Amino acid sequence: MSDDFCLDLKVRDYECDLQGVVNNAVYQNYLEHARHEFLLARGLDFAALAAQGVFPVVVRAELDFKRSLRPGDEFRVTVRCEMEGRIRVIFWQEIHRREGDLALMARIVATVLDSRGRPKIPEGLIEKLVGNRR
């Protein structure tokens, strides 16, 4: 989608396993880094939210691996966000190699916990995350 947030990255050698491909766990790092940059781009600082007693947390991660990334590959991580119900935030993410090949599709389900550990999305946060799309 044209309104997806995009972050360009490059595979570092140490992120690969003995088979010469990016280790599966590393993809989670790529996705999380892109989500944090997505938040910053919308004026939401992860550390500042925590200091205010607002704790975004992942409750489910569904990753579909399509094609392996290799050392030196340049790639783009996209992030699109929408609400599911009143307390669940869905991050739709994809990783594409620079050549355009789809490497991974992900559906990350998150919520926001208050300082007592209860799900509660503060007023104004939804609009910053999803804009007019609900």
Give catalytic residue positions.
17
Sheet holding 88-97, edge to edge: 5-10, 74-84, 88-97, 102-113, 55-65
